[in-house]
Chains A and B, each alone.
Chain A
Amino acid sequence: MAVSGLIFIGFVLTHMYGNLKAFGGHDSFNEYAHHLREFGEPILPHEGALWIIRLALIVSLVVHVACAVALWRRAAKARSVKYVVKKSKASSLSSRTMRWGGVTLLVFIVWHLLNFSIGKINVQGGATDDPYNLMVDSFDVWWLTAIYLVAMVALGMHLHHGTFSAAQTLGLTNNDKARRNAKAAGALLAVVIAGGFSLVPIFVLAGVITK
């Protein structure tokens, strides 16, 4: 769970960076998207590196979900009779919402791939063969931007606890200082990644990024 989680952190960090190319305008964004397909050539075939990354992400997803399901089932079996009254004393909201937050992210990812990758759905009915224009057309729609922002809240919360939890699982937080650092890293990654992702849809909706 921890290792697949760290792979996802690496992915969302680079994905977020790539999205910021939208601030460079139409050509900058599309050139980046196109370059992703040529990355690694000529040693690798066309889209070779992209498929290696996709494969790694799919394997990570399967591992991550399988671990989550196993933990969820174990937890349900470990306490079949619930408390009448149960308080949360010290845990963060993000640590207690990892499971439903994760389900939310999974549903979002399915939509996100339909929107921009597999399906290329333009809710405004416009052209879909131009990544930049599809992106602007999508985020010009307020409710679509709202869905993405809600998903980014879920992502931020998942990263906030997930980063610390991964460090614990890998045995890297064996003292107070390391534990505080891991928690701070989680908070930092959550703000940078979820915040960075949110910039583009907000600025499209605000009319700063336009076709």
Chain B
Amino acid sequence: MKFTLNIWRQPDAVTAGKIHTYELDEVSEDMSFLEMLDVLNEDLNAKGEEPVAFDSDCREGICGSCGLMINGEAHGPEVTTTCQLHMRSFKDGDSITIEPWRADAFPVVKDLVVDRGAFDRIIQQGGYISVNTGAAPDAHATPVPKDKADRAFDVATCISCGACVAACPNGSASLFVGAKITHLGELPQGQAERDTRVVNMVAQHDHEGFGGCTNIGECTAACPKEIPLDVISRLNWDLHAALRHGK
């Protein structure tokens, strides 16, 4: 397969970037999107040019490192991560525009690499439960109803990739925060810090410069883990409850 690649090139965080166009031939339809970029980088290396910087780690769709904006869609046309996207999802001769996540809270480090540290700082504000370490408690010590356990697990599949922010016309991270709030809020272990968690995480979200949610729903369509929009309703419900409780 043959592709025309329009790729955002930016040497560092402070220098302005722009789109560069590359032609790439002999791409196998079985290659993953990142393997295609690896091939491009080998070409660029051979020519003595600077390779395109992009993030990747596990390449099996579970670490959340590899997000790219591909033809205006976060992670490209399939419901999966960029690393699990294959070139067979494109047509021979396609022109593909590749950009980094665009959000001021996710500053570009280089080319397609952004700093998603804002998510870590939101998690530090309550995306955890405080327990003493030691021997594992008995499995039946804290019963969890099946439906709540299932829901908590479903939303806990969020890999913090940032596609929700990238796709959101408002640049909001509400789906991410909502997933964490719902995950811990459904479980008995999450109750003790439930009120302070939502207040502090939302405050940090706003402080990082993410936009406000207007329930448009682009986030959930872009999410490789299909986190539903109702986690944002849960987030709002918990926030109202916490404010009523004077937190």
Is B112 in the interface zone, CB < 8 Å from A? Answer: no
Shortest C-beta distance, B224 to chain A (Å), equals 13
CB–CB B215/A82 < 8 A? no
Which residues of A sit under 8 angstroms from B237, Cβ to Cβ? Answer: 170-172, 174
Shortest C-beta distance, A99 to chain B (Å), equals 9
- A:185-202 near B, CB below 8 Å: none
Which residues of A sit under 8 angstroms from B234, Cβ to Cβ? Answer: 171, 174
Q: How many residues of A contact B (CB 8 A)?
A: 38
Assuming the contacts A170-B236, A179-B229, asked whether A74 and B221 have C-beta atoms less than 8 A apart, the reply is no
Select the residue from A74, A78, A98 with max chain B CB neighbours within 10 A: A78
A91 to B6 Cα, complex, angstroms: 26
Q: Please tell me which stretch of A45-53, A58-66, A120-128, A160-168 contacts chain B, meaning at least 4 of its Cβ atoms lie within 8 angstroms of it.
A: A160-168
Mark interface residues in B217-235 (1 if CB within 8 Å of A CB, else 0): 1101110000011101111
A178 to B237 Cα, complex, angstroms: 14
Is A117 in the interface zone, CB < 8 Å from B? Answer: no
Is A176 in the interface zone, CB < 8 Å from B? Answer: yes
Shortest C-beta distance, A31 to chain B (Å), equals 41
Is B4 in the interface zone, CB < 8 Å from A? Answer: no
A97 to B238 Cα, complex, angstroms: 28
A173 to B240 Cα, complex, angstroms: 14
CB–CB A90/B215 < 8 A? no
Which residues of A sit under 8 angstroms from B69, Cβ to Cβ? Answer: 83, 85-86
Is B172 in the interface zone, CB < 8 Å from A? Answer: yes
CB–CB A90/B72 < 8 A? no
Shortest C-beta distance, A100 to chain B (Å), equals 13
Which A positions have Cβ atoms within 8 angstroms of B?
70-71, 74-75, 77-92, 95-96, 98, 161, 164-165, 167-176, 178-179
Is B51 in the interface zone, CB < 8 Å from A? Answer: no
A sample of 12 more A-B contacts (CB under 8 A), given A78-B209, A85-B72, is A71-B212, A74-B170, A75-B169, A78-B210, A80-B104, A83-B72, A84-B97, A91-B221, A95-B214, A165-B214, A171-B233, A172-B237
A95 to B214 Cα, complex, angstroms: 8
Is B52 in the interface zone, CB < 8 Å from A? Answer: no
